[in-house]
Amino acid sequence: MSTSVSPLRQRARSATPDELAEIPWLRQLESAERARAESDIVVSEAVPGDYICRVGRPVTYWFGLIDGLLKMSNDDSQGPVITFTGVAPGGWFGEGTALKREKYRYNIQALRKSVVAGLPVDSFHWLLDNSIGFNRFVMRQLNERLGQFIAAREIDRISNPDVRVARSLAALFNPELYPGVGHMLRITQQELAYLVGLSRQRVNEALSTLQSRGAIRIEYGGVRVLDLPALRSVFSAQEQGVR
């Protein structure tokens, strides 16, 4: 078995103060807990195509995205790649795997140049044992994640491409899971096409439709949400084409 260190691990370094300021759960900790966590966190710069997590690899870190865009997908050795969801700035992921200290059942891959933070799994469990604020954050994460994957299953059953794009975009603007996004998501139409499973041309049409309805505004380098509730329910049940 190869013991080579991944390029992502080779590029690991300590987090800067600005990067630490982008980590939402640090603000939930007491001063001593925060000091320990900050000293244990490492960051690395991922290039497009880099794997942050791979199917079958044991968990070593709880990961978060400082900047960039990631996708969660299945094991490509088992057939066509299926993208489960995207990961936007401010999002932390893999807490279920870290809790159980098991091997990953999914891949997390960089779609663009990204800054990824990692908290060692032993530090993750130390915070669970010692921090009420951290426990509350993780519980909210698990609850939001459950809702996210229920919504993803609903999206899989929707045949209307405009609705698929709307719901997938709304998921990336979730303020609990991705607090670093705010109202503007840096994403290209091709990146969104990868996440939604549609062609770039069809995504372009859907974005134009959503913009005409006042839910979003297409801007240089990304999409700005103008009305998140409207984005989540922009079409009636009859228009959704649920199979």
Whole-number Å distance between alpha carbons of 108 and 95: 13
146 and 165 both lie in a single domain: no
Give the 3-state secondary structure of residue 25. helix
* CATH code for the domain of 218: 1.10.10.10
Burial label for 32, CB within 10 Å (0-12, 13-18, 19+), is: exposed
* CATH code for the domain of 25: 2.60.120.10
Residue 80 pLDDT: 67
Range of the domain at 211: 160-240
Residue 238 pLDDT: 41
Encoded tokens for 239: 């228009």
Question: What radius of gyration, in Å, describes the C-alpha atoms of the chain?
Answer: 18
The pTM score is 0.85
Give the 3-state secondary structure of residue 188. coil
Per-residue model confidence as pLDDT tens for the chain (243 residues):
344 557 787 888 999 999 999 999 999 999 999 999 999 999 999 999 999 999 999 999 999 999 999 999 886 666 666 777 889 999 999 999 999 999 999 999 999 999 999 999 999 999 999 999 999 999 999 988 887 777 666 666 667 888 889 988 998 998 889 999 989 999 999 999 988 888 999 999 999 999 999 999 999 989 999 999 988 886 544 444 444
164 and 222 both lie in a single domain: yes
Residue 112 pLDDT: 93
Residues 6+ apart with CB under 8 A from 220: none
Residue 103 pLDDT: 94
175 and 100 both lie in a single domain: no
170 and 126 both lie in a single domain: no
Residue 163 pLDDT: 87
130 and 171 both lie in a single domain: no
Q: Residue 83: inside a domain, yes or no?
A: yes
Residue 147 pLDDT: 79
